[in-house]
Amino acid sequence: MSESYNLISQQNYIAQLAVDCVIFGYRKGEMHVLLPKLNFQGDFWTLPSGFIHQEEDVDDAANRILEERTQLTDIYLEQFHVFGKAARTNTAFMAELLRLNPDLQGEKAEFDWFVRRFVSIGYYALVDINKVHPQCSYLDEKMEWMPIKNMPTMIMDGQEIVERALLALRANFDDHLVGYNLLPETFTMKELQALYESVFDKPFRRNNFQKMILALNIVERLEKQFTGAANKAPYLYKFIPA
């Protein structure tokens, strides 16, 4: 377990500033988000999050938190928005969470530090679900991949953070070749269309979709390998590196 999930003191971290991570993965035709369920009475889900060391770049903190939570390095990551409402932190809930959890009995000063208002910097990540090994923090009962069409109840502004991450993902989707991180190395046009339909939450017409993708010039078609039934197999594509 990483020290960053212990209670923290103001000497080590920047106070009142957090990083929240929306970790997107894709499987069975649906976009998912990796969420911890809190070890707390009731059904409370949250986002993988953490704090920023005094000597650490904010981007490095986000990368560290993601690595700790997924055991993956070299993750595709984008900072997308700051969540700064004064009332966004449910300080009473946090105090109760800390009070009821026997693993979280720290010094009074640390306790006070943790239950103040936090401004949070949102990052989204795109990962291959098959390569992720989710790591619980002290606060978590478990972590699960939840489909974005069927999200659980989240504490604080978790729902809003996921929604804004999805808007940012859509805005970046074509330009930044982000699909690269969500599909295997080669894929059919139909598989690519299913990914787009999940991200944008709308159907595309097959012919129009293929025209759009080819016009974007982001994929190349691979030669079919010769087999007896070759002309029945669909073409495979791969992304053209930027």
Nearest approach in angstroms of CB 57 to its own copies is 5
Cβ proximity to its own copies: between 121 and 127 the closer is 121
Closest CA to 22 of 38, 53, 46: 46
Cβ proximity to its own copies: between 18 and 34 the closer is 18
Nearest approach in angstroms of CB 4 to its own copies is 16
Cβ proximity to its own copies: between 56 and 110 the closer is 56
Nearest approach in angstroms of CB 213 to its own copies is 22
Nearest approach in angstroms of CB 135 to its own copies is 24
CA distance 62 to 78: 9
Q: Which two tokens stand for residue 216?
A: 């974007």
In the complex, the residues that contact its own copies under the rule CB under 8 A are 14-17, 52, 54-59, 61, 79, 81-82, 84-86, 117, 119, 121, 171
CB atoms within 10 A of CB 5: 21
Nearest approach in angstroms of CB 58 to its own copies is 3
Closest CA to 34 of 59, 61, 4, 71: 71
Cβ proximity to its own copies: between 61 and 115 the closer is 61
Cβ proximity to its own copies: between 65 and 183 the closer is 65
CB atoms within 10 A of CB 167: 11
What does the DSSP 8-state code read for residue 40?
A: S
Number of Cα atoms under 13 Å in the Cβ half of residue 70: 31
* Angle between helix 189-200 and helix 158-172 axes, rounded to 10 deg: 140
Residues ≥6 apart with Cβ < 8 Å to 214: none
